[in-house]
Amino acid sequence: MARVEFINANLAIAEGVMAAGLRFFAGYPITPTSDLFEYLAVELPKRGGVVIQFEDEIASINAVIGASWGGAPAMTATSGPGFSLMLEGLSFAIMTETPLLLAYIMRADPSTGVPTKSTQADVFQARYGAHGNYEIPALVPWSAQEAYELGAKALWVAERLRVPTILLSDATLAHTFERVEFVPVRRAERKKPRVPPEEYRPYEPEDDLVPPMASFGEGYNVMVESLTHDERGYYAPTNEAHRRLIWRLVEKVRRNWRLIHDTKTYYMDDAEVAIYAYGSTARAAYAAVKELRREGLKVGLVRPTALWPFIDEDLKRAVGGARRVFVVENNIGLMYKEVARALRDKEVVSAPLIDLELPTPDQIIEVVKEWRR
């Protein structure tokens, strides 16, 4: 049997990414993310990796970009204010198709807010924070066990799709200690060029829209270009090249959504009412669903393990025949906007329950019952 430990979600992420083959971590202290960094500072060097503390978040993400081009599966971790500082680097990584993992441990609300507590306020910041047209995968665990698994998966997705990937956890999970089984995970691997150096074009995609990636020092001519570029990596300020590149960057993530998404459903077979919840809030929603079922209501839970890219057809399949959908989230009702847009034929109700700890099952039950009347 795999090793079992009693740890919090931050340490579970650290274990997950190490199991998936993380080689480089760059970071800067921030609550509630620092213990992930501290744990890696002790553990990763033992496994041959490198951990460096930088002078700020801007340096951290750019060091990760450098390490990634140096050939190492690389990550950083931060929270809201730090993520804001990383956005220029994130946009650069999107444009240059640099694989990297960014563990984003959400804390409560604008600016300093409540650093030690959580809401789910940054689900749009994770998606739309950087500038430009883009799609970005964002995985969202609900437990320490899933933080381990999705941490590994997020690193794998980043390398597989050559895209910066976000693992969106929160302070509640960061403080939640649970049993975590270190199950085997897929090792992160990036596609390597299959052509000789003279034929290699660094941004020429294969059928899955992902270009094979040569790192520095592998004998290939590597041109990392953040200007709009053609397949060779040369600046191409034309409509044709620009449209081709932007649509490929977006479609690369959208079309490969099955590699990212794994929407879970609970009690949905005969459900008339569905609750859509993600991350830590889904735990309370799950308890509420079980309680409502005991009372005889046909309620189920739809829980995405990835918020972005948002795939309408995946949500439609998960919701199935339910006619009413409650979107329960610990913010002002953000994902509701996406769910309501995707499920126009259903009654979609926003249940924004801002709570620094976690919305309680009772609060959710109250919302569901209120609407039944």
Partner 1 sequence: MSTKPKIPTIWDIPREELFAPGHRMCQGCGAAILMRHITKALGKDAIIVEATGCVEVTTTVYPQTAWKHPWLHIAFENAAAGASGVEAAIKAMKRKGVIPKDKKVKVVAIGGDGGTFDIGLQALSGMLERRHNVLYIVYDNEAYMNTGIQRSGATPYKAWTTTTPVGKVWRGEWRPKKDIMGIVLAHRVPYAATVNPAYITDLYMKVRKAVEIEGPTFIHAFSPCTPGWRIDPALTVTVSRLAVQTGVWINYEVENGEFRVTTPVPKRKPVKEYLRLQGRFRHLTEEEIAEIQRMVDEEVERINKLVGKTVIGPVVE
Closest CB to partner 1 among 115 and 320? 115
Closest CB to partner 1 among 85 and 224? 85
Q: What backbone phi and psi angles, to 5 degrees, belong to 26? A: -125, 135
> Least distance in Å: CB of 23 to partner 1?
18
> Least distance in Å: CB of 200 to partner 1?
38
> Least distance in Å: CB of 74 to partner 1?
17
> Least distance in Å: CB of 188 to partner 1?
24
> Least distance in Å: CB of 53 to partner 1?
5
Closest CB to partner 1 among 25 and 182? 25
> Least distance in Å: CB of 338 to partner 1?
30
- What's the CA gap between 138 and 278, in Å, rounded? 12
CA 238, 243, 246, 247: dihedral to nearest 10 degrees? -160
Closest CB to partner 1 among 33 and 119? 33
Closest CB to partner 1 among 85 and 354? 85
Interface contacts to partner 1, rule CB under 8 A: 28-31, 34-35, 37-38, 41-42, 45, 51, 53, 55-57, 81, 85, 111-112
> Least distance in Å: CB of 55 to partner 1?
4
Closest CB to partner 1 among 116 and 133? 116
DSSP string, 80-139: HHHHHHHHHHHHHHHHTT--EEEEEEE-BSSTTSBTTS---TTHHHHHHSSSSS----EE
Q: How far is CA 127 from the centre of its chain?
A: 9
Closest CB to partner 1 among 111 and 239? 111
- What's the CA gap between 214 and 229, in Å, rounded? 17
Cβ proximity of 137 and 309 under 8 Å: yes
Rg of the chain on CA atoms, in Å = 21
164-186: string of b/e by CB count within 10 Å (b at 16+)? bbbbbbbbbbbbbebebebeebe
Which tokens go with 287? 């308890």
